[in-house]
Structure 1
Amino acid sequence: MSHDVSELPHPPRATHWSYYAVLALLVVPVWSAVPFAWLFAGYSLCNGTWVYYGPLGRALTFLSCCEVVFSIYHILLAQRVSGPSLHGLGDPDEIQVAYLRLLKAGLANLPDDGGDIETLLVDRPGSPAETITQLERHDHRAIDFRHALRTWFLKVPWSSIRLREVEKWLYWAIYNGDLPSGDDIPAIHRKALDEAVSLLQKRVGCAIGEGTNPNVVPMRLTIDRTNIQWRPLTFYALVFSINWALKYLYASQWNLQYACSDGLEYLLRIPPQWNSASTPRPVVFIHGLGLGLLQYHTVVTHLLKTFPDRPILIPLQPQISQNFFHPDFLEPPTRHQMADRIAALLQRLGWVSLDAEENPDSEEEKEVASSLIGASQKGVTVVSHSNGTYIHAWILKGYPDIVSRSCFVDPVTFCSWEGDVCYNFFYRPCMTGMELLMRYFVGTELGVVNLLQRRFCWTSNSLWFEEIPNAKDPHKTLFLLGGKDAIVNSERIKKYLTSHGIRKNLWYDPEGRHGQALMTGGKGLKEIIGWLSENEEELR
């Protein structure tokens, strides 16, 4: 009988000394700037002492008043963001397919490494060809699924989870709302919920305990209470100024120009000697959460220096880059909007050719674009990091033919149905300096919370193995994971990928942390550069 890890209590963690260092040296100084501004402005204006200040004192008084006004505005925006989720109900058919797909994940009774690929009669081991049948409680597949599923209930022992809490979680996952009480549930919703529970009980290998347990709380990302922490106006202004300066630097030194197309802002460099028929395909780099170009500066410059012979496109995402002053800061594009805009831009650049039914442009524009594409040039290479892998997933879901090569770095799009990313980023108590750094400076920032806690769609953001073109081809697909990633459960993702036959194109660093694979001089970045540098002629 398999050992039931789903019943083991989540081990307690001790607070690391780095937590206190980050708290004292970074978080407290930044957080306290706002209350300090209120105190200083109030004292200076109420007592009239600002009149006697010198230039520096008056400048500080003015800055404090600006901080006071900004903090009020920030509070109003935070209250707006903290309201009901804005993305509404998802596509019922897509949700049903995704739910069945997650239940089938790991259901194929194959070894974690995928078995002997040469002797398998299926193209993708562990694919959705499996049938959901009643598993035994001690079945290792049921135990593993219960262990993963309890993450959505803050990792409590499985036996403490009751039916009412499971129904709350399922109702949120299906309808993006709070479970109504008793007879208030619409009949069609009740039927769908009962069917979902029935399938889930087959997959977990046992009946879920009746009743409720008020001590168990399911994570419901888009309707749970938000945690938005203020930060001073000067912080946003500093980030904005540095990113603006970096755009100027890229333009002057590497001819990386800023442009905007149909609401999509981007940086683009096309070498004068480049042509689509005979030289390397373009690279599209999609960054993740954080500080925008400031955070990814070393990666961007490394790509520009290493590949002067190929076009490089960097879509900008102000909503997750703390660009507070952007007019669309709190209006991120939807999955379809983002994918459509990127695909349309790639076609206008002459890098891809869309199918007629997917083509948003006129026939004349299509003919011009098609004429620019050489017969040997097909698609682009997409390199995505962390939250950027969601956009990577959107492109593959909507326009798989335009991506010829894919590189996923610290991907959050795989196994997101298991809840680890959600738990680690928003719900887990911070115990280390890195966790506190990510929580305060990223996870509690207004734009990030707006995107992830009020506009998150798990069906859109979940990428399944069979949706990746040429997933097993090491020349066309590359996955990079770090064993000590504080956000991604790399072991689970590694298991998911290897069980589907991924071998040579999985780069795994047991000591790697989130973002470390993109550090200059690191083994991860060398792996990416080497993969990008492969002979293009051999890949066609």
Structure 2
Amino acid sequence: MASSGQDVSEAPLLPRSRSLSFYVTLLFAVLPLWSSIPLSWLFAGYSLYSGKWRSYHLGWRALFFVALCEVVFSIYHYFLARRVSRPTPLGPGHPDEIQVAYIRLLKTGMANLPEDGGDIETLEIARPGSPAETITQLERDDPRAVDFRNSIRTWFCKVPWSSIKLVEAQKWLYWAMYNAELPPLEDLPETNRSALNDALALFQRRVGCKIEEGSNPHAMPMRLTIDNTLILWRPLSFYLLVGTINWGLRLLYKSRWNANHGYFNGLEYILRVPPNWDPQTSPRPVVFLHGLGLGLLQYHHLISHLIEEFPNRPLLVPLQPQISQDFFHPDFLNPPGRAEMAARIAGLIQHLGWAELVGEKECNTDSEEDESLSTLTDNPQRGVTLLSHSNGSYVHAWMLKGYPEIIGRSCFVDPVTFCSWEGDVCYNFFYRPCMNGIELIMRYFVGTELGVSNLLQRHFCWTSNSLWFEEIPNATDPSKTMFLLGGNDAIVNSERVKRYLSSHGVRKGLWFDPEGIHGQALVRGGPGMNIVLKWLSEHED
């Protein structure tokens, strides 16, 4: 927390210089892949224009054919990128849900909780700091106001707070509320105008000062779903290689561990159920929610490690082609929404007999049902253990919001769902200039990929994707909930996430590696992976 004598929200963003790793990555990883498209155009164009393709030997003819395929694919990719770059198809969210989320955002940090959560053993309430605070007018130098201004200015690319003017603040608020560009104020419907004014009044109470009238085009807010997208091409051969490897891994899982690749109500998954698993006496199943990247190829070592470490325990891996560069999947550019995705996973878990949904939440089975679903039992388990990494924590959040009764335990690794209302994940992933090799890899190989851009820049809902502490059952019980963070995470502001969790009483259930980078906690044989495996094996009676 900032001290009263220091306004860190006015500190300018420190300049950064590009490291050697940036240029090495650019030269040996990014440029070879990126340049394959223009080189294919040049080679194919020259061969056709000169007519030399007729005299090519077999090897050159094969290369010419590949170049032609890359040319055609690049044209198709261009039109898909144009389609994705259109305005978001998502309309504004539910007004009540947005209002609740916005009030929660403003109340975060108002309770003035100690960073270590205080003496939670003597508390008379179950969860310290739940949203029961009143949004009062703070003084400008109140540490809570200073800290809030410093975090919110991230949405304005970390410019000094005093450079943010009223017009830009209204644009950001209107986008957060209506997922749209702010029209001229005189054209606003009265309902929207009143809601915007109320939101602005509460906002100015929380930041401890009036926002200066006027506009500053150099302090424009980040508005992820309506800002221009940056989509860089990938060669057809790259997508084919990734798809082929993932197809081979599915075959490997089937032959080595009898893991089935199937579909349920539109959800694609990998499922392994040990032949002797008993739903009444055996440990509860593990459901792994993967993050952005290359799908099974990226998480193969983790998945195989989980199967080897827990051979008598079921493992379910819902596949998300939209974030796995699975270009040829029919749903590559059709990501399911929060309710749809959560319902599919919950329905599959219920159909497997691993948990029982409360009320009328059942989901019907799709016609493409796999034989692996034959494990349905009349005596369901006490829920599943949900393990998520990075972007998978969004789906984890959706499950906790919609179907908490089927989740017995939760483990979050490098979660992006916490403190996402502060803008660090958005800024680091899409807006921050790349200065080292890790940032460049993250930007080119993930952030500017067609499917990822479509999901995160045109189908992102901050209210659905933000998980608040009070929405986590048994959050302070280390046997039920575990959090793993890396201090050098290039995506997550792990220090702020750590403070948010620990201030609410999370202690033994929080593992923090000061030197850890994004994904390091799941490296086989590493200390983070050992913590995950130990936690998974404990408290399953």
TM-score range relative to shorter protein: over 0.9
On the 8 A contact 1:2/1:139 being kept in 2, the answer is no
Q: Return the letter of the residue paired with 1:179.
A: L
**Count of residue pairs the alignment pairs up:** 530
Unaligned runs of 5+ in 1: 363-367
* Counterpart check, 1:300 vs 2:300: no
Deviation for aligned residue 1:419: 0.1
User: Of 171, 184, 197, which residue of structure 1 is paired with 2:187?
Assistant: 184
CA distance in 2 between counterparts of 1:254 and 1:222 reads 41
Deviation for aligned residue 1:205: 0.7
Within 5 Å, give how 1:70-469 maps onto structure 2.
Answer: 70-361=73-364, 371-373=377-379, 377-469=381-473
Deviation for aligned residue 1:370: 8.5
TM-score by length of 2: 0.97
Unaligned runs of 5+ in 2: 366-373
CA distance in 1 between counterparts of 2:124 and 2:539 reads 31
CA distance in 2 between counterparts of 1:277 and 1:182 reads 61
* Counterpart check, 1:485 vs 2:489: yes
On the 8 A contact 1:162/1:212 being kept in 2, the answer is yes
Deviation for aligned residue 1:371: 5.0
CA distance in 1 between counterparts of 2:309 and 2:523 reads 15
What CA deviation, in whole Å up to 9, does each residue of 1:236-261 have, x standing for no partner? 00000011011111111111110001
Worse-superposed segment, 346-355 or 419-428: 346-355
On the 8 A contact 2:352/2:377 being kept in 1, the answer is no
2:479 match:
475
1:528 match:
532
CA distance in 2 between counterparts of 1:250 and 1:109 reads 50
On the 8 A contact 2:352/2:376 being kept in 1, the answer is no
Deviation for aligned residue 1:278: 0.6
Worse-superposed segment, 66-75 or 114-123: 114-123
CA distance in 2 between counterparts of 1:509 and 1:110 reads 23
On the 8 A contact 1:276/1:372 being kept in 2, the answer is no
CA distance in 2 between counterparts of 1:57 and 1:244 reads 29
* Counterpart check, 1:57 vs 2:60: yes
On the 8 A contact 1:347/1:369 being kept in 2, the answer is no
Deviation for aligned residue 1:119: 2.9
Q: Return the letter of the residue paired with 1:527.
A: I
CA distance in 2 between counterparts of 1:75 and 1:230 reads 8
CA distance in 2 between counterparts of 1:318 and 1:109 reads 42
What CA deviation, in whole Å up to 9, does each residue of 1:447-469 have, x standing for no partner? 00000000000000000001111
Deviation for aligned residue 1:85: 0.4
On the 8 A contact 2:292/2:446 being kept in 1, the answer is yes
1:365 match:
none
Q: Return the letter of the residue paired with 1:115.
A: G
CA distance in 1 between counterparts of 2:232 and 2:140 reads 43
Query: SS at 1:357's partner residue?
Result: coil
TM-score by length of 1: 0.97
Aligned alpha-carbon RMSD (Å): 1.2
CA distance in 2 between counterparts of 1:411 and 1:502 reads 15
Query: SS at 2:131's partner residue?
Result: coil
Q: Return the letter of the residue paired with 1:176.
A: N
Distance 1:189 1:535, change over 3 A: closer
Q: Return the letter of the residue paired with 1:111.
A: P
CA distance in 1 between counterparts of 2:155 and 2:218 reads 14
Runs (4+) of structure 1 moved beyond 6 Å?
Answer: none
Deviation for aligned residue 1:112: 1.1
